[in-house]
Chain A
């Protein structure tokens, strides 16, 4: 493989990793600043209705919230660079211990959904492009539009109502234990995964179709057509490779969506993922937890974006050539 030896690819990787790290650093600062600017702090939030000025003051001192903002931020940053993300302000447990099991759960859910939705939606998109204007194209287009326009929680509740409450095929709650057997896992994950598949498929499918059809209107396709090459072959051999860049991009963005943006689905199925952890952390002004979640989420987003751009570059030879003026 000489692919990675190409200087544009190498410099691209170096530049993007560096800019990614800088972005994560800035994001952590913005998250810290944003959380600190919200009304009230962890002391207020934890005390709730029991708050009196003296209890708030006592708790604030105990939690170290009486120190100036920059001191707290750099103290956190120093520890974080050594891999210590601190302890949660709300229940005094190490942030990492709370975060990791839920991250794993979120990743399991996201990857299961991605493994189904990406090939399926790209495949359907291709079929729709091949059969443009025919019944199949119209049908897939309308069905995906229906799911696209329904709120995700409604899809979730409908699936629970039909498959769990009425038919009793799957559990309505997706409470999974590490000790559970594989069939239990699959049964518990079916409904949330299906919900995510229905929610996420529309974008991937529509973009695949649009990208392929976009390429189909170019001159070299017309050339291929006039040479009498069958349409299926034109699409798969000539159009698809050139349409891959946007498809890979949307797949990666969908992955990021599946990992990060599933708070609502988690609530519907009571799935112990990252979403609830982050929402609770913000509600309780648990800054170490919010920071850890923020850094983790931004790392996931940045690395998936980076992967998308890198893959787009690798699948498209033109982008690998040195650019003029660079």
Chain B
């Protein structure tokens, strides 16, 4: 038996079977109640948002996907266990090169059409189209074939074995729409039917009475507000105008924790803000320079000052401690100004290193650059922070200039983040870092069905990434989320809003 997450598939299906057997969630908690009008809010919204799941990428659209759409597989809890969505089960064949997904039966779309395998094939293939700007484009394009096998089964062929492939299908942009959809107006299989959508302002929806999950969608109707201003979001939440929110300001969270009418949670996120060093450009083509800078960051101090300690210290690899393949045995890179100075002097580089940063990433990106400058100065490494305008930062600076601040959002598996951002062959490798041994380890890990053996490959990959890679990752960001105390059923996950599905899970006590 292979494993997908920390738990085996067997255990997952047993658990979900148990859930189905106990109506209303079981005896250990108060039974969920139906009814009420829920007000949800999130930042990260734009007036440019659309209802086409292929365009989803921001925190706001991620939560939107959990309202009107379903993906094949869902993510649950802090260890990111995979749970059935529109696929009730999945299994590999052909040594991990082929994956077979059995779909739930009897699900319908909001327009009354029955959900079948054709819809899955259509919805997934759209991501690989020429005009697609999906964040899953490279993944779906890399798939050899997606085909229907009868109305309730979908088969996906991969060019090479990948035992972590199912986790890719948890992506919120892979929501399933009816086959042939050309105008996207929110028709999906999701727990709530769209009533009104005004981009960058609000989404209003009412319960889908034919939802295929019997133990979900408890509130009758909802409003999902777009509030990008962190202060406005915080004050609205404190005053009780909002029942459920994500992306609260970590710095005001300690105050909110003291308020009796609010419940505050931290997600153990896997996203991060990082310092990119272009390994194909001087002076960062010298590994000594890269290590000098990694030793010149005081990570705990940076985390404390940037987000009052909410987050997890990182070790210059994108694999978070909550990930099952995290290499705990690797030594943590500590702040060592003396050794950093020795390595820096060894490179013979003179003059300041220009570090570009911008509010386009986040206000914390600017703070982090300034704090890094201060830490490095103590090691005798001169860094000059250059604050760039937000406008055009992603296009003209990120991945282009020698030394800059960038960021990566949560990815479902170590394979996903390594493949997108670190493999030498990836077009989205911002540091242009190429290391053959690293690439070999990552590719070998995909084809390894046994978790323990896979861990060994990932340990190698993490070791190389930490020592030689061009990315300085000081810490993983956590997201602060909250509910009012009358709201029940919210389970924090490593991903925002309970893996983007919080809205169908909560109820008013």
Contact = CB atoms under 8 A, between A and B. Distances in A.
A284 B48 contact: yes
Contacts of B199: 91, 93, 98
A171 B236 CA distance: 7
B235 A175 contact: no
A129 to B, nearest CB: 39
B168 interface: no
A63 to B, nearest CB: 9
A157 B236 CA distance: 12
B158 to A, nearest CB: 21
B395 A39 contact: yes
Nearest to B421: A49
Contacts of B241: 171-173
Contacts of A172: 232, 235-236, 239, 241
A47 B133 contact: yes
B235 A164 contact: yes
Given A39-B396, A168-B239, A172-B235, A277 B47 contact: yes
Nearest to B225: A175
A284 B200 CA distance: 13
A276 B200 contact: yes
A127 interface: no
Interface centre among A55, A59, A267, A268 (most CB of B within 10 A): A55
Nearest to B409: A49
Nearest to B58: A48
A101 interface: yes
Interface in B226-254: 226-229, 231-232, 235-236, 238-239, 241
A268 B130 contact: no
B137 interface: yes
B395 A171 contact: no
Contact of A52 (B131, B227, B391, B427): B427
Most buried by A among B48, B132, B235, B390: B48
Contact of A92 (B50, B227, B228): B50
Interface string A267-284: 111101000110011111
Nearest to A91: B50
Contacts of A284: 46, 48
Contacts of A181: none
B398 to A, nearest CB: 7
Interface string B327-363: 0000000000000000000000000000000000000
Contact of A267 (B131, B229, B239, B398): B229
Given A52-B428, A165-B238, A172-B239, A280 B47 contact: yes
A44 interface: yes
B48 A280 contact: yes
A280 B396 contact: no
B392 A267 contact: no
A40 B235 CA distance: 36
B391 A38 contact: yes
Given A38-B392, A47-B133, A49-B398, A280 B200 contact: yes
Nearest to B408: A49
Interface in B283-308: none
Nearest to B48: A90
A275 to B, nearest CB: 10
B239 A270 contact: no
A77 interface: no
Contacts of A326: none
B202 interface: yes
A247 B149 CA distance: 77
Interface of A: 38-40, 44-53, 55, 58-59, 62, 88, 90-93, 98, 101, 157, 160-161, 164-165, 168, 171-173, 175, 177, 267-270, 272, 276-277, 280-284, 286
Given A90-B47, A268-B229, A268-B232, 10 more contacts: A39-B395, A40-B396, A49-B394, A50-B57, A157-B231, A164-B235, A173-B241, A175-B225, A270-B228, A270-B236
A-B pairs, top 6 by smallest CB distance, nearest first, are: A90-B48, A91-B50, A40-B395, A52-B427, A44-B395, A39-B392
7 contacts: A50-B57, A50-B133, A50-B134, A171-B241, A173-B241, A277-B200, A284-B48
